[in-house]
Structure formats: C-alpha cells, structure tokens
Structure 1
Amino acid sequence: MAYSMSDLKKGLKVEIEGVPYKIVEYQHVKPGKGAAFVRVKMKSFFDGRVLEKTFHAGDKCEEPNLQEKNMQYLYHDGDHFQFMDVESYEQIALSDEQVGDVAKWMTDGMTVSILFHNNKAISVDVPQVVELKITETPPNFKGDTSSGSKKPATLETGAVIQIPYHVLEGDVVRVNTELGEYIEKVK
C-alpha cells in the first residue's frame, strides 16, 4: 500500500528507497501562496539516522514490510544474543550490533519485541519498565539523606544507574529503560 501526503502522521512507518523509517516529527505547512506540503523527520530503523523530507501533494511512499515478534531472550554466548520465538520455538542469533544499547536491560528469560524487515531482524525493544537486582553500590554513611542525593549502582545486567541512598546492594529496583533511570524500590 502506498501512503499519500495526507496519510502521513507521527509514528507512521514508511519505506523510502528500500529503507524503513518511523516518522518522529510531522508538520503540515499551508503557505499563503502555493500548495500545501508536509515536512517530516524520520528515523531509520537500520542505523538510527534522522532524515528530513518534504512531501508535496501527489508524492507517495510505500508501507514497509515489517513484522513484530515477541521473542524470549535466552542467553549471550559471547558473540551473539540468542532468542527464541515464543510461538514457533524457532531460535535466532543476533549480533551485539543488531541488539544495540538495549542489551544492558536484558535478563535471561525476558520477553522482548523484535522488529523484522523482509524477514531480517532490524531492532530489539525491551519493556519500558524492568525489575533488576542491584549487585554493587557503595555503602551508606551516617549523614546520608534519602532525599536529593544519589549514588551509582551496578545492576545484575552490568548497567549503571543513579539511585537514592536508602536503596542497598541486593535490593530489586524498577528501572525506566528509555531514560535509564531509577523509578522505585520493589517491595
């Protein structure tokens, strides 16, 4: 299916010259003189580059062949991350480069969403909120307060976040994976 200028909106996935993009910014411009047009910023699913493009009336772009699958993260074998399709039990291996920065939030057995373009994995998404155990953090000292100040903490996945002083080593915390920030201590 081809999208016309009037179909474009923020969040829409389009394909231009064989590359799938997600529209991250959309602006409809209607100048006083001349025809209206749409100016968009699109982020590539392949490399994360942002492309600015202007669409005029009559311009078309294609719908990409994208599939999203829920897969279970099994383990990292040193070179590749191993995933299993939760429906077909088919296993795939993705390189560190394909998985990207989300690897620091993944734990064995976690269900992740993998996006495929023409049957090739192009991105991995983890849940927005995950619960992880703190494996290392400095001890508290007398005079530390629970408001305002923060200290670094290493999580079970190796990621480092800032946490309040009242949270201790061994505690489980909720983390926002998009921002990489502490949300709360799990009771």
Structure 2
Amino acid sequence: MYQTSDIKKGLKFKMDGAPWNVVEFLFVKPGKGTAFTRTKLKNLLTGQVIERNFRTGETFEPVDIENRNVTYMYNDGEHYYFMDSESFEQHPVGETALGDSVNWLQDNMPCDILFYEGRPISIDLPNYVELEITYCEPAVKGDTANNAMKSATVSTGATVLVPLFVENGTTIKIDTRTGEYCGRVSK
C-alpha cells in the first residue's frame, strides 16, 4: 500500500476502481490545521484530469500496469496494430487509447504501450520524430515581423506551425509531447 508520503510525479495507483497517474503534487502545511498533499491526477482509462487533496496518512492501493516495448506496424482504419518486440504478438489498439499520438505514428516506430488488466490504455512515443513536410504555403517576402509562423502539413497528415523559411519537402524534427516544431533535419 502507498501512503501520502509516497506521492510523487508519475506514481500510478488505484482509486475508486480506476487507475490514476500523479501529474503534479505539492505538499501543503498550512499555519493552522493539518498538513495535506494537493495533487493533479490523470485517469489512465478516460484521460480525465482532476485535482484532489489527500490528508496525511491516507493509503492507496498499488495498480498493476504492464509496460511493453512494441513497434508500430499499420492501421486498418479501425485499429492501430503494434507488434510486441519480445513475443512478436500483435496488439490492436483503438484510437481513443492513442489520443494525440496518432498524429506522429510512423511505420516501424518503436513505442511503449501501457496495459491495464490485459488491455492497452495508453502509448508512449519517442520524444522526437522526424517527418517530411508535404504541404505548406510559400513565404511572402517582407512577411517576417516577429517570429512569424505558418501552418504546414506533415507526412502523417498532422498540422504543425513552422517558421516561414521552411518549404515543401523539408524534413523537420517535432516534439511529440507538445506537437511543436524543433528544427530542420539535414540529411
């Protein structure tokens, strides 16, 4: 069993019958009254984020979450298929479990999938991906006041804001956690 003193970022535990992940926490000791821990929690099944305070001494049940190394294979329109790197078993994953990660998936991309009670609940991608720009508007000369950005569509179909000097066919580096442009990639 976990106690409030064990709470830290990334801790996974079971509360109200669902698995939760600690996103943020802060130990608060008010001048008057008992100390407590203020947390921001994410439901691993639904993605819902809530804020909750825990009194000192409360206990939590550990949750059994399995992390597997997989490789993205293909999408059949309904599910995304990943192959386990150890057992070579294929795991179909629905789009709801993937969330925004769908925008950055490339064939043969290594990933980690979290399983809860035998079913996939979320995916962890590499922090950065390199994608080619398939379409962007040409930059207009003299349109360069203050870090001007334009929309660009990458090979996966996602839209990213890029600087004006980036052109069609350019390979760029994108942060998968934020979806932001990080730079051009020289080949």
Instruction: Say yes or no: does 1:20 pair with 2:16.
Output: no
- The letter of the residue matching 2:71 is Q
- 1:34-81 residue CA offsets vs partner (Å, 9 max, x unmatched): 432222221111112123323223311011101111111101111110
- 1:62-111 residue CA offsets vs partner (Å, 9 max, x unmatched): 11101111111101111110110011100011112222211011011111
- How far the C-alpha of 1:135 sits from its partner, in A, is 0.7
- The letter of the residue matching 2:166 is V
TM-score for the superposition, normalised by structure 1: 0.91
Counterpart for residue 150 of structure 1: 149
Moved more, 12-21 or 136-145: 136-145
Q: Distance in 2 between matches of 1:61 and 1:135?
A: 49
Provide closer, same or farther for how the CA distance between residues 31 and 143 of structure 1 changes in structure 2, counting only shifts above 3 A.
Answer: closer
Counterpart for residue 94 of structure 2: 95
- How far the C-alpha of 1:146 sits from its partner, in A, is 9.7
- How far the C-alpha of 1:5 sits from its partner, in A, is 1.6
Provide closer, same or farther for how the CA distance between residues 144 and 37 of structure 1 changes in structure 2, counting only shifts above 3 A.
Answer: closer
Q: Distance in 2 between matches of 1:176 and 1:45?
A: 22
Secondary structure, aligned partner of 1:72? strand
TM-score for the superposition, normalised by structure 2: 0.91
User: How many percent of aligned residue pairs carry the same amino acid?
Assistant: 42
Secondary structure, aligned partner of 2:132? strand
The answer to whether the 8 A contact 1:4-1:61 is kept is: yes
- The letter of the residue matching 2:95 is D
Counterpart for residue 48 of structure 2: 49
Moved more, 10-19 or 61-70: 10-19
- The letter of the residue matching 1:118 is E
Moved more, 25-34 or 147-156: 25-34
Counterpart for residue 184 of structure 2: 185
- The letter of the residue matching 2:127 is Q
Instruction: Say yes or no: does 1:134 pair with 2:129.
Output: no
The answer to whether the 8 A contact 1:146-1:164 is kept is: no
Moved more, 135-144 or 65-74: 135-144
Secondary structure, aligned partner of 1:100? helix
Counterpart for residue 79 of structure 2: 80
Moved more, 16-25 or 143-152: 143-152
- How far the C-alpha of 1:29 sits from its partner, in A, is 2.3
Secondary structure, aligned partner of 1:122? strand
Moved more, 77-86 or 11-20: 11-20
Segments of structure 1 that go 5 or more residues without pairing to the other structure are none
Q: Cα RMSD between the aligned structures? A: 1.8
Provide closer, same or farther for how the CA distance between residues 143 and 90 of structure 1 changes in structure 2, counting only shifts above 3 A.
Answer: same
Q: Distance in 1 between matches of 2:56 and 2:78?
A: 48
Q: Distance in 2 between matches of 1:33 and 1:129?
A: 46
